[in-house]
């Protein structure tokens, strides 16, 4: 999954720390970073062919402002100082920076790489279903959110291909993707495994062996009995589908039976609601940075200190199976 034809952004700030933080926010959301400039070391700006300048300047810095205005390129101001890196506050700050960029130059364009996945060879044999989980019924069904963005489809498919049939968990996939590509996901991600994938609609019930794909243009929630509710409104926030909103909705409805796996992706979506899921008894796993096409999303979740364990997509499949088996063993010991 690769970024293509993305808006070009240049950063100018009065301190090295703020410039570095802005650069992280730009790159982690898929924009092309052309230049990072400190105000006391400005030269050659006329050669920077950016679509927008992201500027954090002191109010009295008229010299830098005039230089930027002479370039005739849109300038974004009003950016507050960045909080400490790798903190929940930094993730929220990044989101505000992204919203400013998106509203000015549009969203970064992403090639999801679905053609390559469709042509991929069958994977190795999947994991066996533990004996402890063979007798599980829908009464003890867990609901797991799969959160993915840039690089997500390949990681999610590798993960799904390793899971055994009959695992007592239903999945909800929140994938940042162009709405026009959403219809292709079920056939691509469902090849070589036992899962049935479909775009979620009102009335659908989470079930073993099924993956409900969150729609891009409409938020979904879950009724007291678990069935899908179509809310008839866009997802809240700058991302669609919103992983934060999905995690919040699932954890509120399913409590200790809620889970999430955070895969490769841009930005920090999900990191606001992740702690809420853990607080209500849920469990979160995340993909390792070095196995991601873009590690911003799982890194942001790890920064909240609510990730139980990290792994490659294949390792995440084992972690999920082991977690479900451990829970079942504990329940049997207590009974």
- Provide the pLDDT for residue 229: 98
Please name the residues in contact with 29: beta carbons below 8 A apart, sequence gap of 6 or more: 94, 98, 101, 108, 266, 267, 296
Interatomic CA distance for residues 288 and 112, integer angstroms: 20
* Longest CA–CA separation in the chain, Å: 74
Stretches in the chain below the pLDDT threshold 70: 1-5, 42-44, 110-123, 136-139, 179, 335
Strand arrangement, sheet containing 8-13: 32-38, 8-13, 52-56, 75-76
- Provide the pLDDT for residue 141: 87
- Provide the pLDDT for residue 116: 61
- Provide the pLDDT for residue 334: 73
3-state secondary structure at position 120? coil
Total residue length of the chain: 335
Q: Which domains does the chain have, with CATH numbers?
A: 2-110 (3.40.50.2300), 120-334 (3.40.50.180)
> Tens digit of pLDDT for each residue in 151-205?
888 999 999 999 999 999 999 999 988 767 788 888 888 887 889 999 999 999 9
């Amino acid at each position: 999954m690769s970024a293509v034809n993305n808006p070009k952004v240049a950063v100018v700030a009065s301190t090295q720390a703020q410039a570095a933080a802005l650069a992280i926010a730009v790159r982690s959301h898929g924009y092309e970073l052309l230049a990072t400039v400190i105000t006391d070391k400005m030269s050659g700006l006329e050669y920077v062919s950016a679509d927008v300048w992201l500027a954090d300047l002191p109010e009295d810095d008229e010299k830098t402002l005039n230089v930027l205005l002479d370039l005739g390129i849109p300038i974004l101001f009003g950016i507050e100082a960045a909080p400490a890196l790798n903190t929940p506050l930094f993730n929220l700050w990044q989101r505000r920076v992204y919203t400013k960029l998106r509203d000015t130059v549009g969203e970064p364009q992403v090639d999801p790489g679905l053609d390559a996945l469709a042509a991929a060879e069958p994977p190795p044999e999947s994991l066996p279903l533990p004996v402890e989980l063979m007798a599980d019924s829908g009464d003890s069904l867990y609901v797991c959110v799969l959160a993915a963005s840039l690089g997500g489809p390949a990681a999610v498919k590798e993960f799904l291909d390793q899971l055994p049939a009959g695992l007592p968990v239903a999945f909800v996939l929140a994938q940042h993707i162009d709405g026009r590509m959403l219809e292709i996901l079920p056939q691509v991600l469902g090849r070589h495994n036992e899962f049935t994938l479909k775009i979620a609609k009102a009335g659908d019930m989470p079930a073993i062996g099924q993956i409900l794909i969150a729609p891009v243009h409409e938020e979904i929630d879950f009724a007291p009995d678990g069935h899908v509710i179509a809310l008839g409104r866009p997802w809240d926030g700058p991302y669609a589908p919103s992983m934060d909103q999905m995690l919040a909705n699932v954890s509120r409805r399913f409590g200790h039976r809620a889970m999430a796996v955070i895969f490769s992706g841009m930005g920090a979506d999900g990191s606001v609601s992740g702690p809420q899921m853990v607080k209500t008894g849920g469990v979160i796993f995340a993909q390792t940075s070095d196995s991601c096409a873009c590690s911003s999303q799982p890194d942001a979740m790890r920064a909240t200190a609510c990730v139980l364990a990290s792994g490659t997509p294949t390792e995440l499949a084992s972690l999920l199976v082991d977690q479900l088996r451990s829970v079942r063993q504990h329940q049997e010991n207590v009974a």
